[in-house]
């Protein structure tokens, strides 16, 4: 039996039912040592998988940190407003920004 091609795949579980795969294949020349080719391919797949998946996990950690820091900023703003006596403006409602004023009414002022 002569082995002509080899492949190696690495699957990493990212959690939340997500996973990533890295698969590489290689053709072996007739004069190449099969065991050495397999070992080289496995090492390459493991090295690349670690590098790529470390970046994915770092990005996931950074997103979680950004979320926590945003919460902390909001908490500190509220604490600052409380200490300075500044109350939130009840008319400053973000979803009303840009809304058109209600049409004029036929009801006289003061009623």
Cα 50–chain centre separation: 18
Cα 75–chain centre separation: 24
pTM: 0.51
Helix (H, G, I), strand (E, B) or coil at 100: coil
Instruction: Compute CA distances 39 → 27, 36, 66, 81, 89, whole Å.
Output: 14, 5, 40, 63, 67
**Tens-digit pLDDT profile for residues 53-104:** 888 888 888 999 999 999 999 999 888 888 887 666 677 666 655 555 555 6
Q: Over pLDDT 70: what percentage of the chain?
A: 78
**Which pair of structure tokens corresponds to residue 39?**
């070992």
Q: Domain map of the chain by residue range?
A: 5-84
């Amino acid at each position: 039996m002569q082995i002509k091609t080899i492949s190696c795949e690495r699957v990493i579980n990212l959690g939340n039912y997500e996973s990533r795969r890295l698969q590489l294949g290689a053709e072996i020349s007739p004069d190449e040592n099969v065991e050495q080719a397999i070992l080289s391919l496995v090492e390459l797949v493991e090295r690349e998988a670690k590098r790529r998946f470390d970046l994915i996990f770092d990005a996931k950690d950074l997103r979680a940190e950004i979320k926590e820091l945003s919460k902390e900023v909001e908490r500190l703003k509220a604490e600052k407003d409380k200490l300075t006596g500044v109350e939130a403006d009840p008319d400053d409602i973000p979803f009303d920004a840009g809304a058109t004023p209600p049409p004029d009414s036929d009801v006289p002022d003061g009623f």
